[in-house]
Amino acid sequence: MAIEVMDFLEINTIHHGRAEILIKQIAPESIDLSFWSPPYFVGKEYEKEETYQSWQAMLRQVINHHFTVLKPGGFLVINVGDIRCFKDEKIPKFQAMNLCMQKSKVTKEMVLEAKEKFPEFNRYQLADYLGCSEQTIDRRLNGNNIRGGKYESQTRMHLIGGFLQSYGQECGLYLYDRRIWVKDPAWANCKWTSNSLKSVDEYEDLYIFWKPGQQIIDRKKINPDEWKAWGSRAVWFIRSVRSNDDHEAKFPLELASRVVRLYSAQGNTVLDPFMGSGTTAIACIQNQRSFIGIEKEAKYVSLARENINKEESQLRLNF
C-alpha cells in the first residue's frame, strides 16, 4: 500500500495563500515561536471580504492549529489592537456639554427657567423667547452627541482579547503573559477626544500563549541593560511605522526583534502566518533564526520577498 508523504512548507520561504489553510502543511511540532499581527477587522483593503463572523472563525482556526505546529514549551505571540468599535443603533446617545465650546450666552439654567415659565413652549418658541437657535436649546437640554452629530449611531467598544484567550484555551494553549506596546498618540482622533473624556488611541496588546512543555530560560540571550529596559517590562515604548507607503499596516522592526529575541533562541524556527511586508522574517534574519511566512496577498508576498532579499544582500556585504 502506498504511503502518502506530506510535503511540508519549506523554511526561510514566504508562502502565498491563506493562513488557515497553509498552516495545516507545517510539520507538526516544528515551530519554536509564532509571532503575528492579524487583520484587525477595521476595514483595510486586505480584509474587505471578511464578515465579523468569518474573521473570528479564521482567527480561531489559525490559533487552534498552533497546538499542532508548536513545539512543547513553544510560544504564540499575537499583536492586536484589542478594542473593536461598531456602530450600534441601540446604544444610548453619548451626551457631552462642552463648556469651552459654547458660543451662545444662553445657559442651561436660563432654558430651564423659561421652560418653567412657559411649559407649553416647544424648543422653537423657547429659542425665539431667549434669542438663540433651536440647536442651542437642544444642546443645553440634551448635550451634544459627541460623534457624528445627533442623528448618527453611536460607537460601541468591544474587547477581543477574551475570545483570543478562549480560542487558545480550547486547543490547549495557555495565556502566559501580556505586554503593552505604547505607540505614538493617534492625534487624528482629536475630535473624538476634544468633545469627550475618551483617551487617544495609542497602544496595542501583545498576548503571549504557551504550549505546555519545558522552556529553557537563558538570561544571557539579551544583556542586563536590555532586561531592565524592556525584557522584564510589561510596557514597551516603540514608535509606530511612520511611512506605511508599501504596506497598510506594518509593525515596527524593533517590536518583532524584541519578541524574536525574548521568546526564541538562535537557530530556532519562527512562524508568521500574516507576514505582510516581511518584518518578522527580517527580525529572524538579523537574529539568526529561521522563519516560515504565509501571506494571502500576492503583492505583499512579492514585497516581503524583496525586503528579505535586500536584507540578505546587506548581510553578505557586511561579512
Binding range to ligand SAM, per CB under 6 A, among 89-97, 210-218, 231-239, 275-283: 275-283
Binding range to ligand SAM, per CB under 6 A, among 12-20, 192-200, 209-217, 262-270: 12-20
Which lies closer to ligand SAM via its Cβ, residue 74 or residue 278?
Answer: 278
Exposure of 297 in the CB half-sphere (CA atoms within 13 A): 19
- Minimal distance in Å, beta carbon 56 to ligand SAM? 12
Q: Which of 29, 134, 297, 311 binds ligand SAM (CB under 6 A)?
A: 297
Strand partners, 206: 79, 179
Q: Which of 75, 207, 236, 251 binds ligand SAM (CB under 6 A)?
A: 251
Check residue 295 for interaction with ligand SAM (CB under 6 A). Answer: yes
Q: Which of 300, 301, 305, 308 binds ligand SAM (CB under 6 A)?
A: 300
Q: Which of 66, 296, 301, 305 binds ligand SAM (CB under 6 A)?
A: 296
Q: Nearest-CA neighbor of 33 among 259, 217, 216, 278? A: 259
Q: Which of 294, 301, 305, 308 binds ligand SAM (CB under 6 A)?
A: 294
Q: What's the rounded Cα separation, in Å, for the pair 34 and 292?
A: 9
User: How does DSSP classify residue 91?
Assistant: S
Which lies closer to ligand SAM via its Cβ, residue 139 or residue 296?
Answer: 296
**Burial letters for 139-148: b for 16+ Cβ neighbours within 10 Å, e otherwise?**
bbeebbbbbe
**Burial letters for 212-222: b for 16+ Cβ neighbours within 10 Å, e otherwise?**
eeeeeeeeebe
Check residue 269 for interaction with ligand SAM (CB under 6 A). Answer: no
Q: Which of 15, 250, 261, 305 binds ligand SAM (CB under 6 A)?
A: 250
Check residue 183 for interaction with ligand SAM (CB under 6 A). Answer: no
Kindly tell me the burial class for residue 288, based on how many C-beta atoms sit within 10 Å of its own C-beta (0-12, 13-18, 19 or more): exposed
Binding range to ligand SAM, per CB under 6 A, among 102-110, 123-131, 154-162, 273-281: 273-281
Q: Which amino acid is at 44?
A: K
**Burial letters for 167-188: b for 16+ Cβ neighbours within 10 Å, e otherwise?**
bbeeeebebbeebebebeeeee
Binding site for ligand SAM (CB under 6 A): 18-20, 37, 39, 46-47, 58, 247, 249-251, 273-274, 276-277, 279, 294-297, 300
